[in-house]
Structure 1
Amino acid sequence: MRLSAPVTGGPCWTELGTTDLESAKRFYTRLFGWRPETDQRQEAGGYTVAHLGDAPVAALTPLYQESQPVAWNVSFAVTDSDAALRAVRTAGGQPLLGSMDVFDVGRFAVAADPTGAVFQLWQAGTFAGAGVFNVPGSLGWVELLTRAPREAVSFYTTVFGWTVDPSLRSPQWAVDGAAFGGMVAMDDKFPHEVPAHWLPYFAVDDVDAAAATATTVGGTVLMEPVSHPDGPRIAVLRDPQGAMFGVYRAADEK
């Protein structure tokens, strides 16, 4: 990701919904060096913000509904969440949760694109999103995995004004000329039951070391570390509760 701060249309935050908040705190603290702080207000529902130093980088939360999967969720910044939901519907997507105020920090909504991938919309109040990007332990890339890439391109370029670089082997999303993510066409190698989804990647100093650490603290390596022909060294991991995420070598990103 070449974004250094939240911008309208770009990814601004990522949240983990998990069945075991305390276990998740321990796992990601060991893996990324995060400092988690749980909001003690009852109405906050256990919402926990992870920090690197003083900078917020991600959130960890209990599951709020029985139907909610254990997963990382990606939020995209918008200036008006209600208008963004209308744009989602017009472009063929589906609003899943109407806009809601979160204290004074902002307003959010949840939607699915026409291919089934779920994402969040964030209209900033006092909180704009992650305090840092692309440094070890922080969000560095977001990837859409879908079985209908053409439909996805049409949807996201319409709703967010993204552009796609056609010159690369793997499509990359950009906003205002800054690349921040990519897209993978899901083929027969992906189990049929795996839905389209957004996958966050976190920057690390050493991908191989991060994969090894993940396994020692209860995680799983789903994709062994590999150096991508058009990009950095990456791996895909799964935490002890089943949430998938990626890591990439920060030094490879220019």
Structure 2
Amino acid sequence: MTLRTHPWPAGVPARADLATDDPGAAATFYGAVLGWTVVGHHPDGSLLLGVDGAVAAEAGPATTSGWTLSIATTDLDATVAAVTAAGGSVLSGPGDVDDAGRSAVVADPTGAVVGLWEAGTRIGASWVNAPGGLNWEDLRSSDPALSREFYAAVFGWTFRELFDGYAIAANVDAPHPIGGVGPLWGSAPGWLVYFGVPDVDAAVRAALAGGGEVVHAAHDSDFGRMAQVRDPWGAGFAVFTPLPGAPQPDR
């Protein structure tokens, strides 16, 4: 899948949002690394970024930089209630985002932050599973077993363990892989978003040239070649080239 025009199913990662104190400069950086252009503007200074006019992500003004993954829901209030019932906490919302949709930001019981998105006129990401598009996401958790229980309770996800505590998550209504949950990398739990690129090493060079830094060097895995980097404002993300013929995740 590359281009999507209708809302994502409940429980499927649907969008990625960048908080940054300089959306314009971020657009330039990610344009060099991921091939994005500005495909839309909001009065609050947020920019829609993407490929061939299709939205891959959004960059909005904030004093603290970072990427937030949002998961689709068809009933935001019910999902927020499920989050608290499963031991999570609500950080913001639920609330309307004009006519674009409704959103909330929550934390799972380990403190990992994740967004919730109920689509209105905007579905979230429409350019996915292609160069420049969201094509994977990992939760790095301080307690993977607890995290699995939480996401199973809230979204109905099922899990298949692969190795060393890392498990692939699937949506019960669309049982193809949608992401992974594994042990903590670094000092804090959180979701890591992956964007497709045609050449991981070239993307890393572009990130360095634009003032970013390498967190985990480019390397080959059983799934493809990948690297983890930070942008010049400290927001971490991964670049990924899947192996030819590898199954594409549901989005």
TM-score by length of 1: 0.89
Tell me if 1:144 matches 2:139: yes
What are the within-5 Å matches in structure 2 for residues 166-177 of structure 1? 166-167=161-162, 170-175=166-171, 176-177=174-175
Q: 2:232 aligns with which of 229, 236, 240?
A: 240
Shift of 1:113: 0.1
TM-align CA RMSD: 1.8
Question: Partner residue of 2:109?
Answer: 114
Question: Partner residue of 1:25?
Answer: 27
Shift of 1:133: 1.3
Distance, in Å, in 2 between the alignment partners of 1:79 and 1:40 is: 24
Q: Would you say how many aligned residue pairs link Structure 1 and Structure 2?
A: 240
Shift of 1:178: 1.3
- Aligned to 2:161, the other structure's residue is in SS state coil
Question: Partner residue of 1:52?
Answer: 51
Gaps of 5+ in 2: none
Distance, in Å, in 1 between the alignment partners of 2:234 and 2:82 is: 32
Shift of 1:37: 4.1
Give the 3 Å change call, closer, same or farther, for CA 37–132 of structure 1 in structure 2: closer
- Given that residues 93 and 104 in structure 2 are in contact (C-alpha distance below 8 angstroms), is that contact kept between their aligned partners in structure 1? yes
Q: Which moved more, 1:83-92 or 1:162-171?
A: 162-171
What are the within-5 Å matches in structure 2 for residues 30-179 of structure 1? 30-37=32-39, 39-41=41-43, 45-63=44-62, 69-167=64-162, 170-175=166-171, 176-179=174-177
- Aligned to 1:171, the other structure's residue is in SS state strand
1:45-96 Cα offsets, whole Å, 9 max, x none, are 1111002002111000110xx5xx3100001000111110000000000011
Letter of the structure 2 residue corresponding to residue 12 of structure 1? A
- Given that residues 3 and 178 in structure 1 are in contact (C-alpha distance below 8 angstroms), is that contact kept between their aligned partners in structure 2? no
Gaps of 5+ in 1: none
Shift of 1:250: 3.7
Runs of 4+ in 1 over 6 A off after TM superposition: none
- Aligned to 2:79, the other structure's residue is in SS state helix
Which protein is richer in strand relative to its size?
Answer: 2
Distance, in Å, in 2 between the alignment partners of 1:39 and 1:225 is: 33
- Aligned to 1:122, the other structure's residue is in SS state strand
Question: Partner residue of 2:180?
Answer: 182
Distance, in Å, in 2 between the alignment partners of 1:32 and 1:98 is: 31
**Identity of matched residues, %:** 38
1:181-201 Cα offsets, whole Å, 9 max, x none, are 1122016xx3xxx32111100
Shift of 1:20: 1.9
Question: Partner residue of 1:15?
Answer: 17
Distance, in Å, in 1 between the alignment partners of 2:119 and 2:132 is: 23
1:120-142 Cα offsets, whole Å, 9 max, x none, are 10001111121121100010001
1:7-29 Cα offsets, whole Å, 9 max, x none, are 21010000000122222111001
- Aligned to 1:115, the other structure's residue is in SS state coil
- Given that residues 135 and 250 in structure 1 are in contact (C-alpha distance below 8 angstroms), is that contact kept between their aligned partners in structure 2? no
Distance, in Å, in 1 between the alignment partners of 2:86 and 2:209 is: 44
